[in-house]
Amino acid sequence: MFVRINNCWNDFTLLVGLILLFTGTSFANERLGKPRVMVDASITAWVGGKIIPIDGDEIEDGVLLVQNGRVLAVGQRSSLQIPEGATVIDATGKVIMPGLVCTHSHVGGIGGADSSGAIQPDVRIYDSINVRDSGFRRAVAGGLTTLNIMPGSGHLMSGQTIYVKLRSGKTIDDLMIKAEDGWIMGGLKMANGTNSIRENSAGFPGTRGKSAALVRQFFIKAREYQEKVERAAGDPEKSPPRDIGLDAMIEVFQGRRIVHHHTHRHDDIITVLRLAAEYNFRVVLHHVSDGWMVAEQIAAAGAPCSIILIDAPGGKLEAVNLKFETGGILERAGVTVGFHTDDYITDSRLFFRSAALGVRGGMSRKAALESLTINGAIMLDLQERIGTLSVGKDADFIILDGDPLSVYTKVLQTWVEGEKVFDREDPTDRLYAVGGYGAGQDQQPYFCCYHELMMQQYGLKQLSNQILQK
Amino acid sequence: MRLNTNLITRWMFCYCGWIIGLANVYAFVMPVHVEAQIAVRGKVIYTMAGEPIRDGVILIRDGKIASVAPASEVTIPDDFQVIEGTIVTPGLIDAHATVGLTGIYNQSHDQDHRESSAPIQAELRALDAINVREQLIEYLRGLGVTTVHTGHSPGELISGQTLVMKTVGNTIEEATLVESAAVVATLGPSANRSGGSPGTRGKQMAMLRQELIKAQEYLAKQEKRSSNGNDGSAENADNPSANPITRDLRLEALARVLKRELPLLVTANRAQDISSALRLANEFNFMLWLDGAAESYLLIDEIRDAKVPVFLHPSMIRTAGEYENLSFETGAKLADAGIPVLMQSGFEGYVPKVRVVLFEAAILAANGMTFEQALATITRDAARILGLADRIGTLRVGLDADIAVFDGDPFEYTTKCHSVIINGRVVSIEPR
């Protein structure tokens, strides 16, 4: 998986081999003698920028080759020849890095579980997403390319999450990510602490002890269901009545559906780890405000942490001990750390800010950038497809006008699978990136045919940028 | 860049926190002249009163700034504690907050920003409601915020009064610079009361106008009394106990607004609400502080012509409801038109419970404002509009020694604020 060129001869020959493999065309550079240049118009070459591939050192004066929505090659200009016929884009002075992965977002005008009960794994966020929500536009403006869209809070189980790519799409089906067997990828949202406590509300816990008891009882029930299903081995006579919530739990037990668990206070974190060990499910801890108090325990359990940094502690009882230092403390304890926007809690356009505040709190630059990219991918089981600019991975990348951790840096372009989904020079995109009148409105429908119709009927020369979605 | 304190001082701060804690408490009741004398040396000092000084030194005596000059022109006395930094700025000013009335826990016991028993309650004073030991005030202090203008929050037609305080003090009286700084009003949907009145924009304006007219009449009676007597008649001019006017604290506060002693800070975000605020100020001739102002970029000429300062919403406030059309570039557009722009932490009902004006102004600096324009929104210009230019907001001789010291560009996320000085006393040395 890992191939990158950095004036390293072995890597270089490996890369040449790979390119030959990919294109079936001979390719070489002067160091190998007289070049026989590959000709391929399907290749786009980003040349001259600083490339932060995440899986290796930052590359000055780099080249990124993209073909068919995948990364074809990454290297230094001095050691990587640009194929003839490639579309060459000058990226001098720019920074190129993988698209950002947000492991916990609420964009899309979503609605998950309702107030009918504390445990609702049957609810799919998949069924509630408005892909024209302006939040998606702000997300690509912030350089985000992959999201885990989570049901909102206030339950022990709020429903099934969905992993999406921010492709330009008309329906959620255009955005979702499928596993090789066609399974729609997503996790299960859980929560504990004060989040899921609703006193005097039927079906909801009033204390932490009750919260854990309800979850434990439900996991036992789900295990029994799973055993019945397995014993039946497909025989409809022996199968239990189908329960779509418990079906999702089987995916949890199979390790396929990861539990994304809201948890803040140190004791609540430990409770999650205890339940995960008891019922053997894979879990990513989310928010983890008190994580700095129990970093060793989290590391020992091998649980990744998707954290959020907000401007000040408090606002709710669970978050009064939140610190900028959490990321650094978890990093040094050996925990895989990611960031999330929790959009609308923090603005997707300012996602880099989370990593920079992490550095302010003692995180290494390397870990902070990994936390926005590959570590998020790991938490979504997508590390083979996204999160680094590695050969063969999806061409999800962003173009910046400066260092990713600087407040002054802007995302200029966002690309998903080789397609541009955001361009700051486009007036409509800029409106969502900067704000202004109309920025809060959902993006307009696609005028594939409507525009032509209007032209014919009314002779309209042009529709305003706000009306005409590119 | 690290603190260059002498060994004893460093030992005191780092290893003897409890002693310094006691000393802090003690220092509040001690006369100012016992304070240690301090010199602050910075690679660049943004005085906000003229060009930045490269490699400059600020000498502090008795809580005030004694000199600001290039290091080459200054001899730092031997007995001065020296604090060094990369960038030195005036202590930061949060132009409008609710911190102190709103606390970290966000539970009813620490939320005193909004009294919902009536839509108009101008008589409520921040002074009587604030918790000067609120953790979030300390939190802001550690990030360089040395002064806050805080009080009753937006959300009622008129919710109460504000005050201006330093972010250090044993009692609010000690911390306060201005006991009553403004009366706070709100226009727009957030001032509507579910199932009650006001319930529409039209009703909001009607109620405000009626109340201000009552205050006009009250004021007229008061003025007659002061010239004639308590009942306004010439024969009782020397007999104040005859038929006294019943004092009305609510109308007294509004009368001060009408007399232009207190500004009316009006939170208005939609363009039509901003227009209403300007219309109201024009009718009653009060000092208007326009607050929030998310869509103010649509009304730049009107705001400039009205000579009104804008207390701009926090840059990172959520883009929903009245704020859906906010722009990161509003501050730059207003400033370029010559309109004074101040940055505020505002009010937050959830997380983060308080915002940090340093972070909010940084977004302005990254979106069209120059570095110094953005810094002015939380220093010089904030002090000027709050009427405190002779005390705070710039680094000039004779002003309060309120200083923030950073290890780099203060607006960069990765830069830390590593020393904070208020009234010539070091109040934070933990890099944050």
- Report, as ranges of residue numbers, the positions in chain A whose pLDDT lies below 50: 1-37, 446-448, 460-470
Which of A307, A297, A294 lies closest to A277, judged by CA? A297
How far apart are alpha carbons A206 and A199 in whole angstroms? 5
How many Cα atoms are found within 13 Å in the side-chain-facing hemisphere of A123?
25
- Give me the pLDDT at residue B238, please: 56
Contacts of A313 in chain B (CB under 8 A): 104, 135, 139, 352-353
> Which residue shows structure tokens 């699978």?
A417
- Is the complex ipTM more than 0.95? no
> Distance between CA A67 and CA A43 in Å, rounded?
5
Angle between helices B249-258 and B201-227 (to 10 degrees): 90
Beta bridge partners of A98: A397
Cis omega (within 30 of 0) for bond into B198: yes
CB contact under 8 A, A320 and B104: yes
Structure tokens, B153? 């929050």
CA–CA distances in Å: residue B36 to residues A388, B419, B425: 54, 15, 8
Say whether B363 and A408 touch across the interface (CB within 8 A). Answer: no
Give how far Cα B72 sits from Cα of A444, B69, B77, B219, Å. 62, 8, 14, 58
Q: What is the pLDDT of residues B349-385, one digit of tens each?
A: 999 999 999 999 999 999 999 999 999 999 999 999 9
The pLDDT of residue A152 is 82
The pLDDT value given to residue B20: 42
The answer to whether residues B410 and B89 touch, using CB atoms and an 8 Å cutoff, is yes
pLDDT at A377: 98
Q: Which residues 225-284 in chain B show a CB within 8 A of chain A?
A: none
CA B56/CA B82 separation, integer angstroms: 12
Contact A315 B353 (CB under 8 A): yes
Query: Are A347 and B316 inside 8 Å of each other by CB?
Result: yes
Tell me which residue of B207, B202, B118, B115 sits closest to B153, measured CA to CA.
B115
- From chain B, the residues in CB contact with A311 under 8 A are 316, 352, 354-356, 359
Q: Please report which residue ranges of B90-200 form alpha helices under DSSP H.
A: 135-142, 172-175
| Type of residue numbered B362 | A
Q: What is residue A268's three-state secondary structure?
A: helix
> Are B366 and A408 within 8 A, CB to CB?
yes
Q: How many CB atoms lie within 10 A of CB A68?
A: 11
Q: Is the peptide bond preceding residue B410 cis, with omega within 30 degrees of 0?
A: no
Report whether A258 contacts A236 (CB < 8 A). Answer: no
Please check whether residue A153 is in contact with residue A161, taking contact to mean a CB–CB distance below 8 angstroms. no
Number of H helices, E strands in chain A: 13, 17
Backbone φ and ψ for B223, nearest 5 degrees, come out as -70, -35
Query: A405 touching B, CB under 8 A?
Result: yes
pLDDT tens-digit profile, chain B (432 residues):
344 444 444 444 444 444 444 444 444 444 344 456 999 999 999 999 999 999 999 999 999 999 999 999 999 999 999 999 999 999 999 999 999 999 999 999 999 999 999 999 999 999 999 999 999 999 999 999 999 999 999 999 999 999 999 999 999 999 999 999 999 999 999 999 988 999 999 999 999 999 999 999 999 998 887 776 555 555 655 555 555 678 999 999 999 999 999 999 999 999 999 999 999 999 999 999 999 999 999 999 999 999 999 999 999 999 999 999 999 999 999 999 999 999 999 999 999 999 999 999 999 999 999 999 999 999 999 999 999 999 999 999 999 999 999 999 999 999 999 999 999 999 999 999
Query: What is the per-residue pLDDT across B29-47, written as a single tens digit (0 to 9) for each?
Result: 443 444 569 999 999 999 9
SS3 breakdown of chain B: % helix, strand, coil, rounded to 5?
35, 25, 45
Q: How far apart are CA B153 and CA B101, in angstroms?
A: 9
Q: Are the Cβ atoms of A315 and B136 closer than 8 angstroms? A: no
Min Cα distance B233 → chain A (Å) is 55
| Interface contact flag, A345 B412, Cβ < 8 Å | no
- Residue B241 distance to chain A (closest CA, Å): 51
Pseudo-torsion of CA A187, A188, A194, A200, nearest 10°?
A: 160
Alpha-carbon distance B80 to B59, whole Å?
9
CA distance A61 to A334: 33
- Please give the full DSSP string across B193-227, using - where no structure is assigned: -TTSS--SHHHHHHHHHHHHHHHHHHHHHHHHHHH
Dihedral of the alpha carbons of A221, A226, A229, A230, in degrees to the nearest 10:
-140
The per-residue pLDDT for B226 is: 75
Spatial separation of the C-alpha atoms in residues A89 and A65, rounded to whole Å: 10
Q: Which H helix or E strand runs over B426?
A: strand B425-428
Candidates A289, A311, A357, A408: best to mutate against B (most CBs of B within 10 A) is: A311
Asked if B321 contacts B294 with a C-beta cutoff of 8 angstroms, the reply is: no
Using CB atoms, which residue from B316, B329, B414 is nearest to A356?
B414
Q: B348 — contact with chain A (CB < 8 Å)?
A: yes
A192 close to A262: Cβ distance less than 8 angstroms? yes
Any CB–CB contact under 8 A between B316 and chain A? yes
Helices B7-15 and B17-29 pack at an angle, to 10 degrees, of 100
Closest to A368 measured CA to CA, from A355, A383, A377:
A355
Contacting residues for A75 by C-beta, under 8 A, at least 6 apart: A4, A5, A6, A12, A15, A59, A62, A63
DSSP state of A291: G
Torsion angle (degrees, nearest 10) of CA A221, A224, A229, A235: -120
Q: Do B316 and A311 touch (CB under 8 A)?
A: yes
CB B274 within 8 A of CB B326: no
β-bridge pairing A162-165 and A144-149 = antiparallel
| Phi and psi, residue B50, nearest 5° | 110, -175
The reported pTM is 0.89
The DSSP code for B247 is P
CB B272, CB B302: distance < 8 Å: no
